[in-house]
Structures are given as structure tokens and as C-alpha cells.
Structure 1
Amino acid sequence: MRVHLMSFPNELRKIQQLARDVERAGFDGITLTEAGRTAYLSVAAAALATERLEFATGIAVAFPRSPTITAGTAWELQETSRGRFRLGLGTQVRAHVTRRYGADFDPPGPRMRDYILALRALFRAFQGEAPLDHHGPFYELTLLPPMWSPGPIDFPAPPIDIAAVGPYMLKLAGELCDGVHVHPMHSRRYLTEILEPRLAEGAARANRGLDDIARLIPVLTIVGNDEGEREASRAFCRQQVAVYGSTPNYALQFDLLGFEGTTAKIRERQKAGDFTGMVEVVSDDILQHFTVEARWDDLADALIERYRGHASRLILYTAGMDYGRDPATLDRWGEVARAVSKAAP
């Protein structure tokens, strides 16, 4: 398993310092999120500050940007990073795409399929392998004069990964993509009973197997050598599960484990403005399914035990948050990253 730190949006100079620190600590790479800031700019800043680290957007929002804009940006990032970039895309949810970005969303599954095929066509055209000639239900791309093409690069086209939770997107990732971004709120049962079978089903359509699809998995960790340290970590993870669990699309994560109605309970408190109540819905019984808990010396072994054979790339979600509070914590996280990467290649 490759091991990444998950980085959250920040000022670009701080992203560069983070990247240098993460490279020094021995991580394999950084996965950069997109919230209030642009993930692509963060990748560019980090790539220019490092020599070895891998980079992935985890994820960049697809639909508000045309495939041509996304493809051109990814192409330049692959060139700038000297082949160290993976393009991670997601649909986001309808409200954000339509009301925050003012873009079209529906139908998200077929639209994403067309988007991926358009990206592949653009990459071929940039490299000079074929004229641009994509005809899809949502995107029609046939014009690429030489002066408007970024031109060939000396590296492979960026791998394309998509975020997927439900069956359609999982099968799409298996069929058309290089990898899948798994949601941070996932259980072992979800990986084995839903994600992997659906990925394999999609991969079979393209005469591929499950192992041909990279699985990029962020993990929520509860770590500490005493109960006080672990409780602070536990509180953060409980909040994250409550926030993620308020989204109807993720209700299946609770339902699969026998906690039917959990999303409805969280949303009821959310509508009442009761954030404390939202968090209280996430009991310890629920939380244990979505987290890995251990002492520092045992964390690498716990991660390997849970994710060996399931993750191609493990993304340490909590490490990025800890770095934001205290950069000195990165050395500890680096020890974990190196141990996991070495023991579970």
C-alpha cells in the first residue's frame, strides 16, 4: 500500500511547506481536497516544492468545469510534477453543483461517464495520437487547433479516478477508470460486500479484474497512548461521521450494518440546528465500524490488518488535521506511513 496524507485547503505557500514536510517525513504522497480553495492550484504549488511525492486531487469537482478545462489542467499538472499526478474527480451533490456553481448536474452517472470518455479523447488529442472527435450525450468536442493544444508531454496521461459510493458509480469506475476514491465513511463490510463486487463487475465489462483498479481509501483513525489523547481523536471522528452521515446518499453505510434510520435521526437534529444532537446520534457502536483505533505503536499493524488486500493507497485523513494543529505531530505519522508502506507493498 502506498500511504498518503490528506491535506485540507490552505494558502498556497503553506501547502508548499506542508509538501516539503510530508516528503521529509517519508509519506508516499498527498491527496489534496477541494472545498473553499482549488485543489489543482494546491497540487501545482506542492509539485513545484518537492521531488518525490505523488499527488492526487481527492476530489476535484467535475461538472462545473468543462472536460476541456479539466483535461488541460490535469495535463499541465502531470507535466509539472514529472508524472506524479493522479486526477481524482467527483460529482459532488446536486445542491452544490446547481446552487453554488450554477452548473448542470442531472443525470450524474451518465454525465460522469461521458465526462471520462471526453477526457480520454482530449488526452489522446493533446499527445497527438488522434484528432479530437468526441460525440457524447452531454459533451461534443471536435475543435482543437494546434495553438490551443498544450501539446505532447514526456509522461503518461494522468490516471483518472472517480469518487464512488453506490452501484452505478462503482461499476463505472471499474469499467472506465484507473481507480476509485472510497468515501472516508466506510466499513469493512461495505468494502467487501458492496464496493469490491461492484468494481469487479464494472472491470469485467472492460476485460479487466479487480486488481486492475486502484482503490484509494481515506481512513479515520482514533489514536493515542492514553484515553485522554484518544478521546480527543474520537470526538473529531464522531463529528465527521455525523456530518457525512447527514447526507441521504450515505445512508446505506448505516443500513448495511443494521443501524437503519440513523441518517434520518441525524438530519432531524440538523434541521433543528442541534449540532450536538447530531453528533450524539453516532454511538460508540456505530463509530467503531468507521474508524481504526490503536495506540501509536500499534497503529501501523491495525491499518495493515484492516486494509491489506483492500487498499492500493491508504490516505491518512486524521494526519492532515493533526498537522494543521501542530506540525510536530507529522514525525509520528511519518513513522506510521513508512511502516505501512514497507510491510504491505
Structure 2
Amino acid sequence: MRITYGPWGETLGELVAAARAAEEAGAEALWVPELHRSATVAAAAVAQGTRRARIGTAITLAFTRSPMVTALEALDLDELSGGRFVLGLGSGVRRLNEDWHNVRWGSPVAHLRESVAAVRHIVAHAVDGAPMVLDGAHESLAVRGFRRPFPQARAEIPIYLAGLGPAMTRLAGQIGDGWISHELCSPEWLRERALPALEDGLGAAGREREALDVVVSAVCSLDPDPVVARGRAAGVAGFYASVRSYADFFAFHGLADDQAWTITALRSGAGADDLASAVSGRMVDALTVTGTAERVRDRLAAYEGVADTLKLTPPVYGLPAAETRAAQARLIELIRELT
């Protein structure tokens, strides 16, 4: 499995320093999310501070930008990184789109399919000046007389799709260059739910399994004291358990009651970043990778044979910066050992 990393930084400067350290330790790709920062701005910072590793967004929200803006940002990032950029796109959940960004939700699978087609079309034709015309239910395009007068690092930029539910995961198999799992993804979910959906999508499109990079995310917390390691990861599990849209995911792991308890804590006034105390130990054990370095290595080995790429990330939610910083330092050392 390829070892990749999602760096953290309290400042952009620290984010870049962590990315550089992970690259030097052997990480093949560096992934930046979109929630507290813009994914594309963070990717630009990381691209300028590194030399070899691929730079990916995990993920950029697809519906909050037009395909034209997404394509132009991807072209700029590919130029800035010297052809190292990977565009990771995802729909996000309905509440995030409608309440935070005031964009329509509609039919997310069909919408994302059209968004990807439009981005690829623009990347392919922005430099040659050909008319760019697409008729879509969600993303129409009618561009004439436009030519991007700048050098283009590559004719194509890989597009990875995030998906949790079966329909979105199937779409990744149909049209994606890669699939990015949810931040919480157990080996059992990968084998029993994600891979069958991906294989359905690949089969429907007549594609081979080798055409798709399966990227599994693993939140890792290492410490000589297993109790400390588990405690650092609890906030991550709580943050995602507060999202009702993920009910099927938690029920699959036998954690429906645990998720309900977390949602009750949220409704009682706890912030989404402050739910660690409402999270059961079994939820942390099922959905994150914690413990001593030896135990974490053993847990990661469970993804062998089913994932192509591991995306390791430190715990971030509900922790003081110093705690995340310590967790990150141990994780980068683990990357050095693994590679």
C-alpha cells in the first residue's frame, strides 16, 4: 500500500512544515481537507513548500464552486506543483450545502457526475480555444471565444471522488481516477460495503480494477499509553457521529445507540468539536486506529489487499493544539518506519 498523509497546522506555515516533514519521511501524497480552511488555498501553500509528493484535496466541495472555477483552480494548482496535483471532489452532506453555502442539493450523484464531466471538459479545452458547450440538468456550460493563455502542466488532471453511500461510491468506480473513503473507514466497511459498490461501478463502465486508486482514510493516534492514544481520537469519532446522515454507517458497525447518545449530547448544548466525553470506547476502537506504535502498525496491516493507498491523519477535533501537534509528530515518525 502507498502511504500518504493529511498534515495539520495551527497556522498555514505549520501546515506546510508538517507536509514537508511527512514528505521527507516518505509520504507519497499530501492531502488537505475543506472545512476550517479552503482546500485549494491550503493545497497551494503545500505545493510551494514541497518538491516530490503529490498534492491532493480530500476533499474539495464540488457544488459550492462552479465547474469553471474548480477547473481553473485545478489547472493553477497543477502548474504550481509541477504536475503533482490530484483533484479530490465530494458532495458533502445536504445541511452543509444548503445551510452553510446556500447552494441547492438536488440529486447529488447526478450533479457530481455532471460536475466531473464539466471540469474534465474545461481542463481539456481551455488551452485550445475550442467552444466548450455542455447541456446538463445540473451543470450546463456554454463558453465560446475563451482560451487560457498560460502553459498547462498536463492535458489531464486526475479526479478522485469521495463517497460513503453505495450510489456515490458506485459513481467513483464508474468515472473516478480514484476513490477517497470517509475519514472513518474500518476494514470491514471497506470490504463489505465500499469495494462491492466500487466493483459495480467499474463493471458498469467496463473498467478494470487497476484503473481505480482506492484510498482509505485512517485516523491514527499513537502513544506509549493506549488510554492517552484512545482519548485523543474520541473527538474525531464524536464529530462525525453527530451527523445524522451517517446513520447507516454507524449502524453497520453496531453503533446506532452510540451515535444516538452522541446526537443527544449535541442537542443538549455540546459543540460538535466537544463530544469526546459522549463517545464510547468501542466506537473509538471500531472506527479509528489507536494505541502504541506496534499496535497501530498491526491495525493498519488489516487494510492490506483491499486498499491501494492509506491516507493517515492525526486526530484534530476537540483537542488543544499541543495535543494534535504531539500526535502528528508521532504519526510522521511512523510514516518513516513504514516507508
Per the alignment, residue 117 of structure 1 pairs with 117
Higher mean C-alpha displacement, 102-111 vs 281-290: 281-290
Give 1:170 deviation, angstroms.
0.5
- 2:250 is matched with which residue: 249, 254, 259? 254
Per the alignment, residue 105 of structure 1 pairs with 105
Q: As a proportion of its length, which structure holds more helix?
A: 1
| 1:87-125: CA deviation from partner (whole Å, max 9, x where unpaired) | 011212222222222222222221111111111211221
Per the alignment, residue 181 of structure 1 pairs with 180
Alignment partner of 1:43 is 2:40: no
Give 1:10 deviation, angstroms.
5.0
Per the alignment, residue 72 of structure 1 pairs with 72
Specify every segment of 5 or more residues in structure 1 that has no aligned partner in the other structure, as ranges.
Answer: none
Give 1:69 deviation, angstroms.
0.3
Alignment partner of 1:289 is 2:291: no
Going from structure 1 to structure 2, the CA distance change for 1:48 and 1:264 (only over 3 Å counts) comes to same
Aligned length: 336
Amino-acid identity (%): 27
* Structure 2 SS opposite 1:155: coil
Question: In the alignment, is the contact (CA less than 8 A) between 1:267 and 1:278 conserved in 2?
Answer: no
Amino acid at match of 1:266: T
Question: In the alignment, is the contact (CA less than 8 A) between 2:235 and 2:316 conserved in 1?
Answer: no
Question: In the alignment, is the contact (CA less than 8 A) between 1:172 and 1:202 conserved in 2?
Answer: yes
TM-score, length basis structure 2? 0.89
Going from structure 1 to structure 2, the CA distance change for 1:323 and 1:200 (only over 3 Å counts) comes to farther
Higher mean C-alpha displacement, 274-283 vs 77-86: 274-283
Amino acid at match of 1:333: L
TM-score, length basis structure 1? 0.87
Question: In the alignment, is the contact (CA less than 8 A) between 1:87 and 1:159 conserved in 2?
Answer: yes
Per the alignment, residue 169 of structure 2 pairs with 170
| 1:144-199: CA deviation from partner (whole Å, max 9, x where unpaired) | 4244x255524242211121000110011110111111012222221111100001
Matches within 5 A, 1:196-215: 196-215=195-214
Specify every segment of 5 or more residues in structure 2 that has no aligned partner in the other structure, as ranges.
Answer: none
* Structure 2 SS opposite 1:103: coil
Question: In the alignment, is the contact (CA less than 8 A) between 1:29 and 1:53 conserved in 2?
Answer: yes
Could you say what the CA RMSD is over the residues aligned between the two structures, in angstroms?
Answer: 2.7
Per the alignment, residue 264 of structure 2 pairs with 268
Question: In the alignment, is the contact (CA less than 8 A) between 1:323 and 1:330 conserved in 2?
Answer: no
* Structure 1 SS opposite 2:23: helix
Instruction: State the 4+ residue runs in structure 1 displaced beyond 6 angstroms.
Output: 319-323
Distance in 2 (CA, whole Å) between partners of 1:266 and 1:328 is 26
Amino acid at match of 1:12: L
Question: In the alignment, is the contact (CA less than 8 A) between 1:72 and 1:150 conserved in 2?
Answer: no
Distance in 1 (CA, whole Å) between partners of 2:141 and 2:193 is 35
